[in-house]
Structure 1
């Protein structure tokens, strides 16, 4: 059982190690943190922390550094998050202001978060299980080219250029647009996808209008399937190279996880949030995902209650209080913007 002063010593070691990247000794703790006790007493506290495997010596006759277990205890006993400055909050608000659509908003979100934290920023798309198709547009661009646009009530927009087997006239364009719109508009993404699948399963008339309808319907089906897939948006992968010294081994597993996304999607979906919607997974807790040298900090967002998350990925040696505050603040702004957009519809 760690004493109250032991927790304070652990906190001092974490803070100093994050600040300096150097192992922390008892004399440094006495000099910097003014515990009001001798270096010998601090050494005794450190010995107890080492017995609990919360700190370790990286080599003989050195100071101590936090272990993954030590970081976990530190995070679990955080009295409060380090508040963001007014300038940081203003930067988030400015960065996320007036996005074009949901895709643009999420790209801005990760760019803002990686600038605030210096870590890899990650955001999940909100769940579209309850999203509905609000609008479908079918525009003839000339020749056989058409553009097909599908919009959901959650702000997701798909735009795709396609080629028909022939050049449609105005009546054919309007008729196909009306048929597709009546088929999917107002339906959930799942039901709309099923309606298109049912249409394509039935043998058609085989005339020009039917051929155009089926071509457009297949593309709409593909876009709806894309809407239903879990996706991540990320920024800041280059920060891993700048922090390579914070990893004992190779950063390749992290780069691979960023590239393939599936691992991070699984990890973020399995993280357990506290009563504030914050979740932290540290070091060896990520071993089953191949990310045993990384920490992931995340916060839930989205007023629809879909449990989508925004967060950061980085080395275990990071500024947890500040980074958690940044993640929470960005999630708050993102939720508010989505809520405002929902009310305006």
Structure 2
């Protein structure tokens, strides 16, 4: 039995008092983060010294005596803000992220994190018990299994004003591997359709951003004409945020359903490890690539297949699957992006470019990689 973590995100509906407490906690955690980030920077610039999380955690007690309003919010949330600062520094020094920045009050998304202790975070019917908030109404669209233990909760507010909670759970599961020697599929990224499979299945991605792009442009134009921070400006900003939220939720819903269908149908999925950001910048396809959500889709495939004992394998991005004939295995020296049909010079076969790439990936790479995995 191995231990795994899985998060469940829900919409919550706090009353006026609870919403005020949540907003106050957002501000207090931001204040603590910025205060100790400033101290760290000043100490390093003056004495070339650094401090640890434990040292700053001790300084949090006198800060509460100085600023009494910090006692009104969840104390664990303040400690988590310091842990987040420590993580940000580690990511910087290990070259995984840029240097930590001060948090802005006008950030589009606000959040704070709290840890479950003595069952102080729990679901009770249609309500969620949270520290300092009590019972908050929750839209429990998906039940958490009884053997899943809630470890922490992240409360957030989206730009459209809606409140959400993400419950991180821990559970033990004995995942039995499913034999992957058959029922395998290869996926090739397609700009307009998301992917083409080796079974000639096409995702037919609805392109949610493109559908609402004109409406979004109009709303953003109206926002730019308003006096900043006026009442009409906030109304126009909310309108833009709602359109963005609709696009995001529609995309997630589509990708969740599609990834579930694929991992249920196939025992192994072979796909390419693409540099999506680099591809969008190099080819000026930024909007289309971002609209597809390929990175999110591959992440969904990986964790969903893992829980079912199946495999999602990424092959090297330099593997020339588009240039290899899926019928005879011959390799073309050149294949321009404008050529959407693959014509083999050796066996004279003709096939759709994306279908050929997915079939090549399936035929030539899958079995060898599955034996190693």
Report the TM range for the smaller structure's normalisation: under 0.3
TM-score (norm 2): 0.20
Which structure is larger by alpha-carbon Rg, 1 or 2?
Answer: 1
Q: TM-score of the superposition, structure 1-length normalised?
A: 0.21
**Larger % of helix: which?**
1
